[in-house]
Structure 1
Amino acid sequence: MATRYWIVSLPVQSSATTLWSRLQESISKNSFDTPLYRFNIPNLRVGTLDSLLALSDDLLKSNSFIEGCSHKIRRQIEDLEKASGILASSLTVDGVPVDSYLTKFVWDEAKYPTMSPLKEIVDGIHAQVAKIDDDLKVRIAEYNNVRSQLNAINRKQTGSLAVRDLSNLVKPEDIVSSEHLVTLIAVVPKYSQKDWLSCYETLTTYVVPRSSKNLHEDNEYALYTVTLFNRDADNFRIKARERGFQIRDFEYNSETQESRKQELEKLMQDQESLKSSLLQWCYTSYGEVFTSWMHFCAVRLFAESILRYGLPPSFLSVVLSPSVKSEKKVRTILEGLCGNSNNTFWKTEDEGSMAGLGGEADTHPYVSFTINLI
């Protein structure tokens, strides 16, 4: 699939059929690797030239917004497919590949009546895409909120022993809890394990001998238990801290453990459900935005062609996809089919050349703008 297309209109001097044949012949002879298609625009309602001029001021801004929304949804699809381990899919619009929809574009008269004022069509397209864009923001925020909660839990479970959640490392049998005895959880630097084992029994008076047990180790720390009399726990914490050992606050509670487990499972289910729902929504919405964008491009090409060539409407609209190396050659072909009048005036090399209608950066003696599908 090509990713970059030009939508172009050429002024018709005599017959659109003749001009189309000349263009086909020139492309075939001089740039045979450039795909060329007719871009069929219906007879839209022109209105007044003043209304067209007013509309042209908004066309570029609206196009940037609609194009941006299209690309935003496509990137979201790519991210979701990657996160789901899905092979990148070929997106479709109305059941056909994206590039096919563009190159075989057909105006949807039922959705966009050609007798409607151009501004009404443009405003309707903009409003529809804006609604989709707002909906996308809400859905992404909802999905990211669940992801953030899961990431926070995962950080607690995968961080160092100094900060991570200990509930899945400490088992009920590791804990002694009675009226007089308590088990504390110590985080010991790995290089200080010998020091811990040689001194923990004497840090305070009421430590149970040989009660320390290694539960877990990571790259930095080792996790140990130590059992002592309840009344000596606070003093032990102070003495341990003085020796560089951290006593973690921990209380084993089977109900809390089960509640955390259920919360984690629910968040994981919610994430998968939201991911799947968002992906399906993106598939559908991408098609809606893309069809809106192509209809907008048709209106834009029509309006700018009237402003460029005058009334009555007499122009040939086409879609091309030249390779980078063929671009200059194709531009020359297109300019040659416009006749010689005012060609110099529209050359981009001239610093004083007229800015293109709708704010195009590259100006030519014909209407042209670029469609980037990715």
Structure 2
Amino acid sequence: MATKYIFVSLPRDEDTFDTLKTSTGENGDVLPFQIPNFKIGTLDALVQQADDLGKLETACQGLVAKVADSLRTLLDGNEDKIAQQKMVNDKPTENYLRTFSWNKVRYRADKPIGELVDNLQKELVTIDNDVKGKFNQYTSVKTNFATLQRKQTGNLATKSLTPIVDPSVLISDSEYLETHLIAVPTNVKKEFLKSYESISPMVVPRSATQVAQDDEFTLFAATTFKKHSAEFQAKCRENKWTPRPYKHVEGGREEEQKEFDRVAKEEKKVWGEALRLSRTGWSESVMIWAHVLALRVFVESVLRYGLPLEYVPALIVSSPKVSKKVKDSLDKAFSHLGGNAFGRDKRGRITKDDAALSSEMAAAGLGEDYTAYVYYEIEV
């Protein structure tokens, strides 16, 4: 089941954290969200970084979803097994996010924010390429293996004929005659036997012999003159009979088995590699996502609350079902931070009337998603 993670920051007050806990109530756990003090550049740079971080967070969300889909495919939708792979730094994902701390070794907090954003973006692209490349390789090998499996286990219309057809039923050394193998649905084989001689010119009379039969099809061998072979095969297709191209090759059966065994081994190997890379991709992409969110909260807090920055960043762990209640409670508790951004009724309660938006907010293109405080949410 997915968990909703809500990242907020509020101007520091002696009871801000307690107010957060009280307003959230039983709808979520309120936890400290540790963010270092980063180097703050110019206002123009911060505005650009806020935009860059928004785009990067969207990319993080997309990659996490993509890796989750890869794991779902590799593990045939087994949710228990999928959950076992969704670890971040060897911790369950929720544990990692609940106890998040900035990786100061990997991302030095004394570096400019722009440089940190660039590094995170480059890492995300590398992970995306690695996971996508290996998963595409696995898909290709899996498709190849499935084709070989169908050749071994399919019906007579699709499977390999090498282990089935005795070369003695084929005319192979004639200048004028050619033997055709035709897979006919078993329920119409009487019709085939009655009509095959007349569907095209120069079919050898009474040449049809049954070669094999399964639950769906009967395989017949029939002979025609070569110059009418193409017409005979076309007429077979019109009648929903399947011509099966086949040429006997000495030792072909053994070669097919070797190829099947080789691709089966390769499929298993590449599956393991794809699973390991997807597991790593999950860990890395969620970790990068958390660091991007930390930067986003910090940058937006500076832009909203100004300097010196005195703020309280927090993480609220909730569920998709009740996260709206959390949002509504926070709006009620901290709407005063938005000034006249929110309309109010006669009792001072917040209204969601768009007409109540200030002209400044409307000009900025902010609507119902506006919050009076820094607010971001993700679902993992």
* Range of TM-score over shorter length: 0.7 to 0.9
Deviation (angstroms), 1:233: 4.9
Number of the residue aligned with 1:293:
289
Number of the residue aligned with 1:274:
270
Q: Cα–Cα, structure 1 residues 113 and 162, in superposed 2: closer, same or farther, change >3 Å? A: closer
SS of residue matched to 2:307: coil
CA–CA distance in 2 between the matches of 1:212 and 1:321?
72
Kept after mapping to 1: 8 A contact 2:130/2:277: no
Deviation (angstroms), 1:132: 1.0
Q: Percent identity?
A: 27
Number of the residue aligned with 1:372:
379
1:131 to 119, 126, 130: 126
**Match status 1:309 vs 2:305:** yes
What amino acid is the match of 2:7? I
Kept after mapping to 1: 8 A contact 2:134/2:273: no
Kept after mapping to 2: 8 A contact 1:2/1:99: no
Trace 1:1-374 onto structure 2 (pairs within 5 A): 2-13=2-13, 15=14, 18-27=15-24, 31-82=25-76, 87-90=81-84, 91-154=86-149, 161-162=156-157, 164-171=159-166, 184-194=180-190, 212-219=209-216, 221-225=217-221, 233-234=225-226, 248-323=244-319, 326-338=322-334, 340-346=336-342, 349-351=353-355, 352=357, 354=361, 362-373=369-380
Q: Cα–Cα, structure 1 residues 26 and 145, in superposed 2: closer, same or farther, change >3 Å? A: closer
What amino acid is the match of 1:372? E
CA–CA distance in 2 between the matches of 1:333 and 1:216?
71
Q: Cα–Cα, structure 1 residues 361 and 174, in superposed 2: closer, same or farther, change >3 Å? A: farther
Q: Cα–Cα, structure 1 residues 292 and 48, in superposed 2: closer, same or farther, change >3 Å? A: same
CA–CA distance in 1 between the matches of 2:26 and 2:78?
41
Gaps in structure 2 of 5+ consecutive residues: 344-351
What amino acid is the match of 1:284? T
Q: Cα–Cα, structure 1 residues 360 and 117, in superposed 2: closer, same or farther, change >3 Å? A: farther
Question: Cα deviation per residue 1:74-104 (whole Å; 9 max; x = unaligned)?
Answer: 2111110117998333311111110111111
Kept after mapping to 1: 8 A contact 2:184/2:192: yes
Question: Cα deviation per residue 1:18-48 (whole Å; 9 max; x = unaligned)?
Answer: 3213332443xxx224221111111111222
What amino acid is the match of 2:354? D
Kept after mapping to 2: 8 A contact 1:355/1:363: no
Number of residue-to-residue matches in the alignment:
361
Gaps in structure 1 of 5+ consecutive residues: none
TM-score by length of 2: 0.80
Residue range with higher mean Cα deviation, 173-182 or 74-83: 173-182
Kept after mapping to 1: 8 A contact 2:2/2:319: no
TM-score by length of 1: 0.81
CA–CA distance in 2 between the matches of 1:319 and 1:45?
23
Kept after mapping to 2: 8 A contact 1:356/1:362: no
Deviation (angstroms), 1:110: 0.6
Provide the alpha-carbon RMSD of the alignment.
Answer: 3.8
Kept after mapping to 1: 8 A contact 2:150/2:158: no
Deviation (angstroms), 1:11: 1.1
Deviation (angstroms), 1:327: 4.0
